[in-house]
Every structure is written in structure tokens, then in C-alpha cells.
Structure 1
Amino acid sequence: MLLDALLFAAGVALLVGGATALVSGGTRLAGALGVPPVLIGLTVVAWGTSVPELIVSLLAALSGRGDMMLGNVMGSNVANIGLILGAAAVLMAPPNDRSMWKLEIPLLIL
């Protein structure tokens, strides 16, 4: 039981450290390339957070579990858009900026 708690705490610490490194690295990359940080967020960071889902889906497909693969893809998209975006909107109301509605919202839906 104690070992499980220690492994869980270590996993959470590594997850927080990895997420912090990913975001700060993406910010530095955007500055070095001279591109808006939202572009890096939509590409590099999104790719990095999707790799575990991709690996699970590939392993499911290779083992003949297409239903598991489809469930993983659909579930992660619903969770990412519905839960995360909803929680972020509850914590901080999105700005009423016309450029966001013209660029970022259509890209999110895409």
C-alpha cells in the first residue's frame, strides 16, 4: 500500500514536471521562431499530448480491437473538448475577442 502511494506521488510529480517542461519549451520555441505561441500550442504541444493516445490506439488496432481504438479516439476528443474547455470556461470566462471567434474557435472544432 505504501509503495503504491509512493509510486502514485512520483507519477504525479513526473507528470507535473513534464507538463511544465512541455509548455515552457513550446513558449521558448515560439519565441525563437518568431511565431505566435498559439501556433506552437496548436501543433507541437497538441502533438506531444496526443502521442500516448496514438500509441494506445495503434496497439489496439494491431491486436484486432478496432472498437477499443475507436472508443479511445472518440472518448479523448469528447473529454478534451467538453471537460477541459468547459472547466476552463467556468474558471475564467473567455475573452469576447472577435479574432478568437474567427481563428481559434474554428481551429478547435476542426
Structure 2
Amino acid sequence: MPELATSVVAAVRKQSDIAIGNVVGSNVFNVLGIWGAGSIVSPLYAPGISMMDYWMMIIFTVLLLPLLYTGRFLHRVEGAFLLGLYGIYLFILRPQ
């Protein structure tokens, strides 16, 4: 929650660098630091994550890199495109 509040305040103040850096930095620390330390204490299992989920993470990352590389700015149309793809992914995952 603190990361969300900081990112919202930074976005309102038109400081998108801080907002993006805060979210990315927090996620990287949580994955590498918290999960890493937790897995030393006790092995972690994620039975709900399938190979499709891993492939979707890779695909979204590959799609995001060229969008951010051109001018290092994500336009609304590009964000809407990624959000639409995520919606399609969630639609595919919905229970039958």
C-alpha cells in the first residue's frame, strides 16, 4: 500500500520517473529479497502458476520493452493496448 500511495502522489505531481521507479523497485525487491529470504527458511511452492502464466509474463515483457525504448515514454494508446491484452488473458483464464 505505501508503494501505491507514493506512486499516485508522484503521478499527480507529474513525476512519472519516481512513480515507475517506485513500482519496479518495489516489485524487484519483493521478488528477490522477500521471496528469496523466505525460500531459504522454507521452500516455496506455487501450484497455481502454470507454464501459460510464465509465457504470458515473458510475452508482456517482450512487448513492453520496445514500447518503452522508443522515447522511454508509454503513450495512452500503448497502455490501453497492453491493458486490452491483459483483459483478454484474464478472459481466457476465467473458469468455464
Structure having the higher Rg? 1
Q: TM-score, normalised by structure 1?
A: 0.42
More helix by share: 1
Higher relative contact order (CA 8 A, sep 6+): 2
Q: TM-score, normalised by structure 2?
A: 0.47
